[in-house]
């Protein structure tokens, strides 16, 4: 963002395949301290996979990931755990510990990673749950929560240790508009007041434009476009005839959510008849 | 000439094909079994490390409430089944042995037979089988579900080690509970054998006396050692299979892990039992 600051997350030529499927292809991106980086892209384009690499739960095939200036891809589990205590993750499904109550879920990182006494932890749990509007549900078990409540409880757990970086995988999908706006506001507040750095994967374009400082669009494992929010905003409002690059037209369609455009054309152009024939051939063998 | 050559070639190839397939299958299964044993040993090693650290380092101590919860979950529900099974076995063995022993004029030796069979073999063995069905299945299903629900990943992302957090309390619980339930099983079998024998007209004082003579500390101790190892196998196999479920395998993967935990568990218990018996007898522990 501002010149002179060194990135807090630095990804270089990150490549990953599952079997023969190339899911990430030479991804390079920087996230600077105190900014909100929003990652957008179609379903299955590799957004969650990118996040999994950043939190150290998937090893890359190639490339490097630096966090707080340290290379995490070659770290031992003990070393990477030191880094993990400095960031929080909100999973796509919430990923609450189902055997623990909501309050215990939030208390767990505090109990395990700090020396705080029980009553202090209880207070902190209440504060975090109040932030996401779940204080009354402290004693409920995760299975008794709705999908949106699970996600908010997951957020409360992610901010339990006051992390410096927060990763969100679709924090507002499946939430009602008001709660979604509240979560957006929370992300903005955390960034502004506590200088938290956030990386947010989302499908909600209005939410993306509300919170982003910079945005990045992925498409089948590659970065189509990365830049400040204003660039994406002007691209969304632009006239398609004035755009020259194929890439810009792809991004524009995605941002506007148009049913017609280069993305849909590409999907239908992919040799549909050949594909059908191939299937019937395979049955013969 | 050439044609007949290739014909016989073909015949040989067809004849060999099933054998080759069998060979390939055996090699593949062998390789998989070895790789599984290897990875399971690694898990065991890590669990041992975590347990040792938990005893020494205060910050990594094993949480007592987690251990208690697991012990209750593993053991308590199995108690009635263990008692029922041992009562039946004690009665059956007594009834079946009585006519022959009576023929030899030594019906009171029922006590000796019951004591030896119960303490050395049937107590630990049957308890382990019951717990394998109860605890092994439920542990594998639980951990497998946690994998598919991204809970394990969330643990790791919170810098919490799943082995220390999930595996260690479950292993300790299966070891402790198999051992404790074996003590119960031993007592129940002796009592049930005695009741049946008394009904058959054997004096209860003599029966009791003979039982005490037959049950040396060695029989009791080796039975408990066996029980502890069986418990360890049940827990280790269940934890390993549960954690080996891959997120994309979904409920199918969980189902397979659950069944396998019971099947592999039973096989492991039987093999370990045979090995123990060989070792004990070749060292002459019971002479
Ligand atoms: N563990 C895995 N093994 C095999 N393939 C995988 C695995 N994880 C993800 N994939 C594949 O990688 C691709 C990208 O998946 P990913 O979950 O990153 O998508 P996404 O961008 O997060 O999509 P969505 O917006 O729907 O969450 C998909 O095609 C998926 O099938
Ligand atoms: Mg995703």
Residue A21 contacts B where some CB pair is shorter than 8 Å: no
**How far away, in angstroms, is A49 Cα from ligand 2 center?**
7
pLDDT tens-place string over residues B220-252: 889 999 999 999 999 999 999 999 999 889 999
pLDDT tier at B254 (50, 70, 90 boundaries)?
very high
pLDDT tier at B131 (50, 70, 90 boundaries)?
very high
pLDDT tier at B4 (50, 70, 90 boundaries)?
low
**How far away, in angstroms, is B146 Cα from ligand 1 center?**
19
Length of chain A: 285
pLDDT of residue B25: 86
pLDDT tier at A107 (50, 70, 90 boundaries)?
very high
Cα separation, A192 vs A203, in Å, equals: 23
pLDDT tens-place string over residues A205-225: 889 999 999 999 998 889 988
Count A/B contacts: CB-CB distance under 8 Å: 49
pLDDT of residue B220: 87
For A35: left if phi > 0, alpha if psi spans -120 to 50, otherwise beta; the answer is beta
| Residue contact B159–A84, C-beta within 8 A | yes
pLDDT tens-place string over residues A115-131: 899 999 999 999 999 98
pLDDT tens-place string over residues B210-227: 888 888 888 888 999 999
**Is the pLDDT assigned to residue B2 strictly greater than 60?**
no
Cα separation, A78 vs B230, in Å, equals: 32
DSSP B62: P
ipTM of the complex: 0.84
Beta bridge partners, A31, equal A9
Q: Mean pLDDT, to the nearest integer, of A103-120?
A: 92
Ligand nearest to the CA of A47: 1
Q: Mean pLDDT, to the nearest integer, of B115-122?
A: 90
For residue A154, the Cα-to-chain-centroid distance in whole angstroms is 13
Beta bridge partners, A89, equal A167
Q: Return phi, psi of residue A170, to 5°.
A: 50, 65
Length of chain B: 287
pLDDT of residue A268: 67
Q: In terms of CA atoms, which chain A residue is nearest residue B145?
A: A98
- Please say whether the beta carbons of B158 and B259 come within 8 A: no
Cα separation, A134 vs A132, in Å, equals: 6
User: How many Cα atoms sit within 13 Å of B106 on the Cβ side?
Assistant: 7
**How far away, in angstroms, is A48 Cα from ligand 1 center?**
7
| Residue contact A55–B157, C-beta within 8 A | yes
- If you average pLDDT over every residue of chain A, what do you get? 87
Write the DSSP assignment of A220-255 as a string of letters: TTEEEEEEEHHHHHHHHHS-GGG--SHHHHHHHHHH
Percent of chain A with pLDDT strictly greater than 70: 92
- Please say whether the beta carbons of A128 and A153 come within 8 A: no
Q: Which residues of A touch B146 (CB under 8 A)?
A: 98
**Is the pLDDT assigned to residue B1 strictly greater than 50?**
no
Min Cα–Cα distance to chain B from A88, Å: 7
> Token digits for A70?
């340290």
Per the model's pLDDT, the better-predicted residue between B45 and B214 turns out to be B45
Exposure string for A156-174, b = 16+ CB within 10 A, e = fewer: bbbbbbebbbbbbbbbbbb
Helix (H) or strand (E) holding A169: strand A165-169
- If you average pLDDT over every residue of chain B, what do you get? 90
**Is the pLDDT assigned to residue B87 strictly greater than 80?**
yes
């Amino acid at each position: 963002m501002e010149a002179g600051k060194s990135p807090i997350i630095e990804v270089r030529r990150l490549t990953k395949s599952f079997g023969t499927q190339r899911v990430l292809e030479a991804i390079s991106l920087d996230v600077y301290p105190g900014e909100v980086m929003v990652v957008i892209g179609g379903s299955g384009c590799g957004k969650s996979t990118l996040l999994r690499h950043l939190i150290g739960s998937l090893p890359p095939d190639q490339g490097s990931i630096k966090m707080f200036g340290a290379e995490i891809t070659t770290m031992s589990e003990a070393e990477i755990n030191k880094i993990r205590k400095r960031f929080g993750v909100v999973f796509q499904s919430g990923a609450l510990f189902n055997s623990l109550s909501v309050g215990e879920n939030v208390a767990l990182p505090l109990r395990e990673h700090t020396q705080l006494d029980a009553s202090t932890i209880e207070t902190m749990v209440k504060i975090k749950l109040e932030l996401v509007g779940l204080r009354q549900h402290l004693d409920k078990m995760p299975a008794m929560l709705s999908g949106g409540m699970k996600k908010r409880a997951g957020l409360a757990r992610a901010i339990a240790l006051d992390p410096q970086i927060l990763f969100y995988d679709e924090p507002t999908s499946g939430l009602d508009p008001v709660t979604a706006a509240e979560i957006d506001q929370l992300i903005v507040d955390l960034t502004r007041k506590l200088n938290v750095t956030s990386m947010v994967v989302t499908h909600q374009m209005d939410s993306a434009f509300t919170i982003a400082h910079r945005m990045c669009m992925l498409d089948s494992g590659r970065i189509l476009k990365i830049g400040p929010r204003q660039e994406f905003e002007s691209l969304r409002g632009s006239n398609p005839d004035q755009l020259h690059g194929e890439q810009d037209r792809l991004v524009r369609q995605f941002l506007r959510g148009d049913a017609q455009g280069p993305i849909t054309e590409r999907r239908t152009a992919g040799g549909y008849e050949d594909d059908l024939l191939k299937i019937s051939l395979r049955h013969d063998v | 000439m050439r044609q007949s050559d290739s014909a016989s070639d073909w015949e040989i190839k067809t004849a060999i094909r099933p054998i080759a397939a069998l060979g390939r299958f055996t090699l593949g299964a062998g390789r998989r079994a070895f790789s599984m044993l290897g990875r399971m040993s690694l898990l065991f090693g890590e669990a041992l490390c975590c347990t040792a650290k938990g005893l020494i380092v205060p910050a990594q101590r094993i949480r007592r409430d987690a251990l208690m919860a697991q012990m209750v979950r593993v053991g308590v529900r199995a108690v009635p089944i263990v008692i029922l099974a041992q009562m039946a076995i004690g009665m059956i063995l007594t009834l079946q042995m009585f006519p022959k022993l009576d023929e030899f004029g030594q019906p009171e030796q029922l006590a000796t037979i019951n004591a030896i069979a119960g303490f050395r073999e049937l107590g630990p063995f049957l308890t382990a089988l019951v717990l394998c069905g109860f605890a092994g299945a439920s542990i594998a299903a639980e951990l497998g579900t946690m994998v598919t629900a991204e809970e394990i990943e969330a643990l790791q992302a919170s810098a919490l080690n799943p082995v220390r957090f999930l595996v260690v309390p479950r292993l300790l619980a299966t070891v402790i509970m198999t051992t404790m339930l074996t003590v119960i099983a031993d007592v129940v079998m002796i009592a049930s054998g005695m009741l049946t024998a008394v009904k058959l007209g054997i004096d209860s004082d003599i029966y009791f006396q003979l039982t005490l003579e037959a049950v040396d500390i060695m029989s009791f101790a080796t039975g408990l050692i066996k029980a502890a190892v069986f418990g360890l196998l049940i827990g280790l196999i269940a934890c390993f299979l549960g954690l080996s479920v891959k997120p994309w395998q979904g409920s199918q993967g969980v189902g397979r892990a659950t069944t396998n935990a019971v099947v592999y568990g039973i096989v492991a218990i039987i093999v370990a039992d045979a090995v123990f018996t060989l070792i004990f007898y070749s060292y002459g522990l019971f002479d």
